[in-house]
A and B are shown apart, each in its own frame.
Chain A
Amino acid sequence: MKSKTADRLATGVFIAIAIIIISILVGLFSYILVNGLKHISWEFLTTPSSNIRAGGGIRDQLFNSFYILLITMIIAVPLGIGGGIYMAEYAKPGKVTDIIRSCIEVLASLPSIVIGMFGLLMFVNITGWGYTILGGALALTVFNLPVIVRVSEDSIRSVPRDLKEASLALGITHWHTIKTVLLPSAFPSILTGIILAAGRVFGEAAALLFTAGLSTPRLDYGNWNPFSAQSPLNIFRPAETLAVHIWSVNTQGLIPDVEEVSNGSAAVLVISVLLFNLLARWIGRLIHKKITATK
């Protein structure tokens, strides 16, 4: 009888734990959305931020976030998929492969602030660029690369062996098989992984503090010349992203409406990340349906 009661008690504890986890999430999300949605308006999204006065928006920060994400992905995706192909198709079991695997593991477990410090040393001081979008994107690439490599490797490995062998049996070379058979069939899961990684990059701040900086120059959105200092497209200008903005207004900001601005920004950030997640799921399911022809 005693073990029966212990069992009931334990079940109760586990259910309580599940309820705690659920309520943490529900609490967090409802807090962010309830407090944040009030402040999100077209005006909030399209006015530039202010350093001293109330009523600033997040136009530049929002643009910077997406722009840095884009540049990061342009650098990281080819590198990551290449690395994944190497690990899945060319790497022979042995010392070299072990070393590469350890490198991926090290890169993946580095704290983002350490990557930010490396970025500061490498892309800000040694290159002499100062705080730039490119430096931030390169730091984020370091941060992001191991994720994409792992996703690509796993996706390529999970392509059925028959497909690869059939292609090789037709006399098609290895590289051509990779290009025309393996990559297309692994594409859906690689894409899902990349979108999830993009969500992580979008919310990252610590690696950007010392690489992309805490300020944005006055931007002129009519100026599309990527070499002009005022152009939003210039990759050699400092850029404060949304996540960094939330941190900086809370820790060193002088504006009186810190809470409104950060509530709004937090909601925008969380909603964006949420959209990334939903998009990844949706695309994954869509392509899965198309390929397997299930309903």
Chain B
Amino acid sequence: MEKLTPAKDRLLKSKNNWMDGELRGKVLVLLCAVIMISATISITIFLGTKGLQSFIKNGVSLLEFLTSTHWNPTNQAKPEYGALPFIFGSFAVTFLAALIAAPLGIGGAIFMTEIAPSWGRKILQPIIELLVGIPSVVYGFIGLTVLVPFIREHVGGLGFSLLSGMIVLSIMILPTIATIATDAISSLPNSLREGSYALGATRWQTIRKVLIPAALPSLLTAIVLGMARAFGEALAVQMVIGNVRNLPSSILDASATLTTIITLNMGHTTYGSVENNTLWSMGLILLVMSFAFILLIRYLSSRRKM
């Protein structure tokens, strides 16, 4: 005969089990969240300490690193660690790429939401999603085989130039800008449009005087996010920009960015050497810039809420 346990015990027991599962589940998902926090913190701390080593341990002057244009770490007698050309290169390609991609992206967004909301969106939306999907090395490779020779023959210079980097990057960040701008404009209340049309405004007047100002913080967020992506992009730029250590004097000159110098030299410098440590310092600049972009986006979205 089976031994019967009183109903009270059974219920208590099952309740116990349930509470166990409840606790286990909560701990499990909490652990996942903790891992995320610790990953972020450890990235900041590790890259921070490693990036500061060249200044603290190797005695590279921070001022020289940020302002000197002479980069010659392999010179035995008098090594120079001026990273300004790369910092300048990074900012230059980022801004130039945004300069092309922002009008195209926002224009595309306006086309999708205002000019041809039905079929325009059906065509452009998947196209933009496909553009996001193309890996960055493929952009770099096409830049290298198509864009660089084209610029060399038809525009001038070597082809490896700021111009090539800027074109490749602008195509890469175009989908980011277009997607966010589309969301921003289509989420504007319809009463804005109708009010403007009811006053007799044309479509262009509505777009220019009503919709763009109303969506401006979100549009700026879109541009900043695109710039953040451009600033951190490494391989595609590295393949087309030429990687020289001089400050470029025109957009047809070859140049280098922080990411491209890291990509090129990280592999063949000795871990722990001064040159290697300065590369980590450049990585730290990238990290700091990515924090700066986040703060900028936060500021913009706080403006949007008001």
Chain A: residues with CB nearer than 8 A to chain B?
Answer: 3-4, 6-7, 9-11, 13-15, 17-18, 20-22, 24-25, 28-29, 31-32, 78-83, 85-87, 89-91, 99-100, 102-107, 109-115, 117-118, 120-122, 125, 142, 145-146, 149, 173-176, 178-179, 199-200, 202-206, 209-210, 214, 243-244, 246-247, 250-251, 259, 262, 266, 269-270, 273-274, 276-277
> How many pairs, one residue from A and one from B, have CB atoms within 8 Å of each other in the complex?
252
Q: Is B31 an interface residue (CB 8 A)?
A: yes
| Residues in A neighbouring B294, C-beta threshold 8 A | 102, 105-106, 109
In the assembled complex, how far is the CB of residue A78 from the closest CB belonging to chain B, in whole angstroms?
Answer: 8
Q: Is B291 an interface residue (CB 8 A)?
A: yes
| Residues in B neighbouring A15, C-beta threshold 8 A | 111, 115
A277–B135 Cα distance when bound, in Å, is 13
Q: Which residue of B lies closest to A85 (CB)?
A: B29
Size of B's binding interface in residues, CB under 8 A: 87
A222–B20 Cα distance when bound, in Å, is 45
A270–B136 Cα distance when bound, in Å, is 11
Q: Which residue of A lies closest to B138 (CB)?
A: A266
Q: Which residue of A lies closest to B127 (CB)?
A: A25
With A6-B204, A107-B36, A121-B47 already in contact, the answer to whether A270 and B135 are too (CB < 8 A) is yes
A3–B124 Cα distance when bound, in Å, is 28
Q: Are A206 and B136 in contact (CB under 8 A)?
A: yes
| Residues in B neighbouring A205, C-beta threshold 8 A | 135-137, 235
Q: Are A114 and B286 in contact (CB under 8 A)?
A: yes
| Residues in B neighbouring A82, C-beta threshold 8 A | 28-29, 31-33
Q: Is B141 an interface residue (CB 8 A)?
A: yes
Chain B: residues with CB nearer than 8 A to chain A?
Answer: 18-19, 21-22, 24-26, 28-33, 35-37, 39-44, 46-47, 50, 103-104, 107-108, 110-112, 114-116, 120, 123-124, 127-131, 133-138, 140-142, 144-146, 171, 174, 178, 202-205, 207-208, 225, 228, 231-235, 238-239, 259, 262-263, 266-267, 271, 280, 283, 286-287, 290-291, 293-294
Q: Are B232 and A10 in contact (CB under 8 A)?
A: no
A179–B116 Cα distance when bound, in Å, is 43
Q: Are B232 and A246 in contact (CB under 8 A)?
A: no
| Residues in A neighbouring B37, C-beta threshold 8 A | 99-100, 103
Q: Are A117 and B266 in contact (CB under 8 A)?
A: yes
Q: Which residue of B lies closest to A124 (CB)?
A: B271
Q: Are B267 and A79 in contact (CB under 8 A)?
A: no
| Residues in A neighbouring B174, C-beta threshold 8 A | 21, 24
Q: Which residue of B lies closest to A199 (CB)?
A: B133
Q: Are B36 and A83 in contact (CB under 8 A)?
A: yes
A-B contact pairs, 23 of them (CB 8 A): A3-B202, A13-B107, A15-B111, A17-B104, A21-B178, A25-B127, A28-B171, A85-B29, A90-B26, A99-B37, A104-B36, A106-B291, A109-B290, A113-B286, A176-B22, A206-B259, A206-B263, A250-B141, A250-B239, A251-B238, A251-B239, A270-B135, A276-B133
In the assembled complex, how far is the CB of residue A87 from the closest CB belonging to chain B, in whole angstroms?
Answer: 7
| Residues in B neighbouring A276, C-beta threshold 8 A | 133
Residue of B110, B130, B266, B290 touching A29 (CB-CB under 8 A)? B130
Q: Which residue of A lies closest to B205 (CB)?
A: A3
Q: Are A121 and B29 in contact (CB under 8 A)?
A: no
| Residues in A neighbouring B22, C-beta threshold 8 A | 173-176
| Residues in B neighbouring A149, C-beta threshold 8 A | 36
Residue of A24, A206, A259 touching B235 (CB-CB under 8 A)? A206
In the assembled complex, how far is the CB of residue B38 from the closest CB belonging to chain A, in whole angstroms?
Answer: 9
In the assembled complex, how far is the CB of residue B142 from the closest CB belonging to chain A, in whole angstroms?
Answer: 6
A4–B205 Cα distance when bound, in Å, is 10
In the assembled complex, how far is the CB of residue B63 from the closest CB belonging to chain A, in whole angstroms?
Answer: 24
Q: Are B25 and A246 in contact (CB under 8 A)?
A: no
A274–B140 Cα distance when bound, in Å, is 18
With A82-B32, A114-B47, A118-B46 already in contact, the answer to whether A21 and B263 are too (CB < 8 A) is no
Q: Are B138 and A246 in contact (CB under 8 A)?
A: yes
Q: What 4 pairs across the A-B complex have the smallest Cβ distances?
A: A111-B232, A203-B135, A82-B32, A175-B25
Residue of B31, B129, B225, B290 touching A114 (CB-CB under 8 A)? B290
A277–B175 Cα distance when bound, in Å, is 16
In the assembled complex, how far is the CB of residue B8 from the closest CB belonging to chain A, in whole angstroms?
Answer: 17
| Residues in B neighbouring A174, C-beta threshold 8 A | 22, 25
| Residues in B neighbouring A25, C-beta threshold 8 A | 127, 130-131
In the assembled complex, how far is the CB of residue B47 from the closest CB belonging to chain A, in whole angstroms?
Answer: 6
A229–B205 Cα distance when bound, in Å, is 68
A223–B244 Cα distance when bound, in Å, is 45
Q: Are A14 and B111 in contact (CB under 8 A)?
A: yes
| Residues in B neighbouring A176, C-beta threshold 8 A | 18, 21-22
With A20-B104, A86-B29 already in contact, the answer to whether A210 and B266 are too (CB < 8 A) is yes
A90–B25 Cα distance when bound, in Å, is 10
Q: Are A14 and B115 in contact (CB under 8 A)?
A: yes
Knowing that A22-B124, A199-B133, A250-B141 are A-B contacts, what are 4 other residue pairs whose CB atoms are under 8 Å apart, sorted by A's residue number?
A: A7-B202, A173-B22, A175-B25, A203-B137
With A3-B205, A7-B202 already in contact, the answer to whether A111 and B178 are too (CB < 8 A) is no
Q: Are A246 and B141 in contact (CB under 8 A)?
A: yes
| Residues in A neighbouring B228, C-beta threshold 8 A | 109
A102–B228 Cα distance when bound, in Å, is 16
Q: Are A243 and B135 in contact (CB under 8 A)?
A: yes
A81–B114 Cα distance when bound, in Å, is 37
| Residues in A neighbouring B204, C-beta threshold 8 A | 3, 6-7, 9-11
Q: Are B39 and A145 in contact (CB under 8 A)?
A: yes
| Residues in B neighbouring A179, C-beta threshold 8 A | 25
Residue of B18, B225, B232, B290 touching A173 (CB-CB under 8 A)? B18
